[in-house]
Amino acid sequence: MVYPKMRLICICLLVLGVLCLYFSMNNLSPFKEQSFVYKKEYGNFLQLPDIDCRQNPPFLVLLVTSSHKQLAARMAIRQTWGKERIVKGKRLKTFFLLGTTSSQDEMRAVAQEGQLHGDIIQKDFVDVYYNLTLKTMMGIEWVHHFCPQAAFVMKTDSDMFVNVYYLTELLLKKNRTTRFFTGYLKLNEFPIRKKFSKWFVSKFEYPWDRYPPFCSGTGYVFSSDVASQVYNVSESVPYIKLEDVFVGLCLEKLKIRLEALHSKQTFFPEGLRFSICRFRKIVACHFIKSQELLLYWQALENSREEDCPPV
Ligand SMILES: *[C@@H]1O[C@H](CO)[C@@H](O)[C@H](O)[C@H]1NC(C)=O
Ligand SMILES: *[C@@H]1O[C@H](CO)[C@@H](O)[C@H](O)[C@H]1NC(C)=O
Ligand SMILES: *[C@@H]1O[C@H](CO)[C@@H](O)[C@H](O)[C@H]1NC(C)=O
């Protein structure tokens, strides 16, 4: 009576093995994802910034995705492009978007930092790269609920250089007020199916063969009405962990077309070598370390526009 039992166990193990192989090959692990739509979690902010947008509304709100350990980057941004300022008579305000970590020390430090600077927006979700969609949606919810009076919003990252002067100038020139969305346009992108890529997306997570048009998540800018509209449709598009693609899906549903801000390239998600005259005429550049940001900013502030050749 021993053999049939052994055979049964062997068959069971074999079936289990095949199933494991199947699930891992197709990345169909049923345990990995809990939901496939974004679930709006109304309110419940852990930290809200010091601003009343009804009084003296900002022209441009800059929302910077950041994490607990990036204090140096936040401090550099506060001293440079993120400093509250008036450009061409328009008020600019910068806020940082954070989630939560399991480190009590880091949580406490960020709570104190928020009290000191009044510029942190925080909610209760685990602050990891693959939760960037939640972080971005928190910023969009914040604009929708607390600052719809702003004219424009920029969502960007903490390793960016942003030329807020040139951005303001171009936005004023563009003279758009609603349903406006711009940045580095990605109009023909496909899901990356290579397992080890940072941007790997399984067919289970996103079964379609191409992405909707979207703007690189390193920096995009939109009229503030778009925040409310995106927030409104966010539960009715498929959830994807790539925040820029997720926003693209919302825009597609809303039939909001992406537009270039300028006839020349002004957003540089792949980075760009610094020169004073070059950086005067760009809006955003990726891969900027805190030290570089401080140096570049000072160089720009200490130079005169007239010293650059006209373009
Ligand atoms: C994202 O945050 C949610 C809510 O805190 C958490 O349940 C989930 O595990 C996080 N995602 C990842 C990939 O860690
Ligand atoms: C901006 O657009 C409005 C109409 O949408 C128009 O009345 C106004 O003259 C424009 N301003 C400039 C500076 O082009
Ligand atoms: C949200 O969607 C509903 C239904 O589609 C629509 O009636 C409402 O005007 C939308 N609100 C915004 C702010 O877009």
User: Using 50, 70 and 90 to split pLDDT, how confident is the model at 305?
Assistant: confident
Name every protein residue with a CB atom under 6 angstroms from any ligand 1 atom.
125-126, 128, 130-131, 134
pLDDT in tens, 253-303: 999 999 999 999 999 999 999 999 999 999 999 999 999 999 999 999 999
pLDDT(33) > 90? no
Mean pLDDT (the chain, rounded): 91
Pocket test for ligand 1, best of 36, 44, 126, 129 (most atoms within 8 A of CB): 126
pLDDT(28) > 90? no
pLDDT in tens, 219-240: 999 999 999 999 999 999 999 9
Q: Which atom of ligand 3 is nearest to the CA of 225?
A: 13
Question: Could you tell me if 152 and 60 are in contact, meaning their C-beta atoms sit under 8 angstroms apart?
Answer: yes
Q: Which CATH number characterizes residue 219's domain?
A: 3.90.550.50
Surface-to-core class of residue 65, CB atoms within 10 Å of its CB (0-12 exposed, 13-18 middle, 19+ buried): buried
pLDDT(10) > 70? no
More confidently predicted of 2 and 210: 210
Backbone angles phi, psi at 202, to 5 degrees: -75, 160
pLDDT of residue 159: 98
pLDDT(35) > 60? no
Which residues are registered as beta bridge partners of 45? 123
Pick the residue whose CA is nearest to atom 4 on ligand 1. 125
69/72 Cα distance (integer angstroms): 8
Q: Give the total number of structural domains in the chain.
A: 1
Whether 311 is in a domain gets the answer: no
How far does the centroid of ligand 3 lie from the alpha carbon of residue 117, in Å? 34
Whether 61 is in a domain gets the answer: yes
Residues 6+ apart with CB under 8 A from 311: 264, 281
Q: Which atom of ligand 1 is nearest to the CA of 130?
A: 13
pLDDT(310) > 50? yes
Whether 34 is in a domain gets the answer: no
Domain housing 117: 45-199+208-302
pLDDT(153) > 60? yes
Whether 127 is in a domain gets the answer: yes
User: Using 50, 70 and 90 to split pLDDT, how confident is the model at 38?
Assistant: confident
Q: Residue by residue, what is the 3-state secondary structure of 109-154? A: HHHHHHHHHCCEEEEEEECCHHHHHHHHHHHHHHHHHHCCCCCEEE
**Among 57, 63, 89, which Cα is nearest to 77's?**
63
- Nearest-10 Cα torsion for 17, 22, 27, 31: -50
Question: Could you tell me if 285 and 299 are in contact, meaning their C-beta atoms sit under 8 angstroms apart?
Answer: no
Pick the residue whose CA is nearest to atom 6 on ligand 3. 232
Pairing of strands 214-223, 152-157: antiparallel
Whether 226 is in a domain gets the answer: yes
Whether 39 is in a domain gets the answer: no
pLDDT of residue 34: 39
User: Using 50, 70 and 90 to split pLDDT, how confident is the model at 186?
Assistant: very high
- The b-or-e profile of 98-119 (16+ CB within 10 A means b, else e) is bbbbeeeebbeebeebbeebeb
Q: Which atom of ligand 1 is nearest to the CA of 131?
A: 1
User: Using 50, 70 and 90 to split pLDDT, how confident is the model at 9?
Assistant: low
Helix (H, G, I), strand (E, B) or coil at 91: strand
pLDDT in tens, 63-74: 999 999 999 999
Angle, CA 40 vertex, CA 125 and CA 157 arms, to 5°: 55
Name every protein residue with a CB atom under 6 angstroms from any ligand 3 atom.
228-229, 232
Whether 247 is in a domain gets the answer: yes
Whether 5 is in a domain gets the answer: no
